[in-house]
Structure 1
Amino acid sequence: MSETFVDLGSVNAPSGVLVLGMAGWIDHWRELGRPLSERARTAASAGGGHLREWLCEAVAVPAAADRPLAVRASTSPSPFDGEPVIATLEVALGLPWPETVDRSAPIRLGDLPVDRCGMVVGDAVALDAWRGINDEPADGLADVFYWGLYEDDAYARFGGERTAQYGVDGPHGWLDLPLVEAAARETELTAWCDRLHGKGLMVAVEGHTDYHRFRRAGWHHPLRVGAIEVGGCQVLGIEWDQGDHSTRHRGERDAGQVYPVTIEADEAGGTVMRWTIPPYDSADEDW
């Protein structure tokens, strides 16, 4: 039976090199000696390849530089809660399949784990500018959230709005605060809880890094996909449900939880990159 795909949006790759990588580690490539774009360009010049150093992993492929590249996915039920999760991620590369290459068999480039922090699809050069989890936000803004046993008491004292996330009401908080104001809110909430209760309230300040922005952009998408601009290019980020990740992808590469990335010919004779996560089978569990 053929797969049914849904559109996730598009990315652009003006450098001519597209990357699928682990969101939690994109910003670490530049700390390991060579920028991601240089490594990706070398891999793409050979037709595509897998990049890995330390905990950083990605796949890089050549792509058309002059047009949007459509991204779509098929889904399968999560073993965690039965909700749809990505089974096949496919990116149209905007290039014809080489006439000299057999189109009947996929070309395997390597494999990737599902990063607990999510995955990113985007232009290799643009991703050199990626601001990761611990980076400073470019816009100087942050979101503040609080939750826990005394959340209702804190709301009565401090206010804040609930933000819908992933189909349910999220924690109370404030969006788009200047960093100084966000830090002051965190200090005020924490001091209030310490004074009256000692514990029972969690407070988080999320700066507008690219990592946080793509997660926020995906709050209302059924597959947790968010489009943001990075380095002047449109990039897609895909967050994974933490329950699904823990049930199915825990341990990642160290536990052998990796999935093949291929380039293939589509029905129209174009080239696509595919990352395929086989359907869940409880018989595969090793308890």
Structure 2
Amino acid sequence: MPETFVDLGFVTAPSGVVVLGMATWIDYWRELGDPLPVRAAAAAKTGGGHLRDEECEAVAVPAAADRPLAVRATTEPSAFDEEPTIATLEIALGLPWPEGAEGPVLLGDLPVDRSGMVVGDAVGLDAWTSLDDEPADGLADLSYWGRYQQEVHERFGGERMPSYEGDGGPYGWLDLPVAEAVALEAEISAWRGGLPGRGVATMVEKHVDYFTFRRAGLHHPLHVGAIEVGGCQVLGIDWCQGDHAVRHHGGRDWGQAFPVTLEADGAGGTVLRWTIPPYGEDEDEGDA
């Protein structure tokens, strides 16, 4: 039975190297030695390879630098809630499949990052901003929720925030200047001190890349969001936290890392594929 793919968008790779990596650690490579572009370029020169240093993991491969690279996926029902979740992620590399070459070519394997996965240009991703960085636009979102959120709403206002579930997200404000968001959070925190149990939580989320890709994917059924990083279009894939807890929580330490291959696309081109078997299959194989 032929696979049914869902188009997720595209990435650009002007450096000629595409990376699929873990969102939590994509900016941490430089802290461990050579930055991501150097490591990725070295892997791409050999035809592609798996990169790993402490918690950082990624796969890097050569790709066409002069065109958008389509990204698509097949899906399986989640073991958590039976909603669609990614089973196969495929990135068109814009390069011909070598004549006479046999495939697929195994490059390594990757676990699913609890904070999602990132596909993009190796050089562009070196500009990725994370939680400790400051946002380029100087803005942040502030949200609050909890037992006494209605009392906070009556006192401070705010609107329902977007969420993966659609309606019913926390209250808060979008696109505030960072200083204003921090000051308002402090004001709410000081005021809630008189509430029994202090039953309100608050969060300031600066518009760094780690946050904006997740916000961009809020209304996508597979939580995929496109953002610009380092002048390149990048796709971020947030992961349902329930699905991750049921299916991927153990990560590599529990054998939950999945094969990444180079394959022919059937039309003379080359694709990068990350294949996550249906829930239970990899566990059964591990017990065999």
TM-score (norm 1): 0.96
The offset of 1:108, in angstroms, is: 0.4
2:40 aligns to what?
40
Distance 2:104 2:64 in 1: 20
The offset of 1:283, in angstroms, is: 9.1
1:133 aligns to what?
131
* CA RMSD after TM alignment: 1.5
Structure 1 contact 91–274 (Cα < 8 Å) conserved: yes
The offset of 1:137, in angstroms, is: 1.2
Distance 2:58 2:164 in 1: 27
1:2 aligns to what?
2
Structure 2 contact 136–208 (Cα < 8 Å) conserved: yes
Aligned residues: percent identity?
69
Structure 2 contact 142–205 (Cα < 8 Å) conserved: yes
- The question of 1:70 aligning with 2:70 is answered yes
| Amino acid in the other structure paired with 1:91 | I
Q: Deviations over 1:130-152 (max 9, x none)?
A: 00122221211110000000011
The offset of 1:163, in angstroms, is: 1.9
Question: Where in structure 2 are the equivalents of 1:243-254 lying within 5 Å?
Answer: 243-254=242-253
1:147 aligns to what?
145
1:256 aligns to what?
255
Structure 1 contact 24–133 (Cα < 8 Å) conserved: no
Structure 1 contact 154–189 (Cα < 8 Å) conserved: yes
1:97 aligns to what?
97
1:156 aligns to what?
154
The offset of 1:166, in angstroms, is: 1.4
Distance 1:267 1:118 in 2: 29
Distance 2:6 2:161 in 1: 26
Distance 2:59 2:257 in 1: 13
Distance 2:51 2:182 in 1: 38
Distance 2:197 2:96 in 1: 63
Structure 2 contact 134–208 (Cα < 8 Å) conserved: yes
Task: Give 5+ residue unaligned stretches, structure 1.
Answer: none
| Amino acid in the other structure paired with 2:96 | P
Task: Give 5+ residue unaligned stretches, structure 2.
Answer: none
Question: Where in structure 2 are the equivalents of 1:191-210 lying within 5 Å?
Answer: 191-210=190-209
Distance 1:149 1:180 in 2: 26
Q: Deviations over 1:72-103 (max 9, x none)?
A: 0000000100000000000000000011412x
Distance 2:219 2:161 in 1: 10
The offset of 1:255, in angstroms, is: 1.2
1:12 aligns to what?
12
Distance 2:240 2:192 in 1: 30
Distance 2:74 2:230 in 1: 28
Question: Where in structure 2 are the equivalents of 1:176-195 lying within 5 Å?
Answer: 176-195=175-194
| Amino acid in the other structure paired with 1:58 | A
| Amino acid in the other structure paired with 1:110 | G
Structure 1 contact 109–261 (Cα < 8 Å) conserved: yes
2:57 aligns to what?
57
Quick check: 17-26 or 247-256, which moved more? 247-256
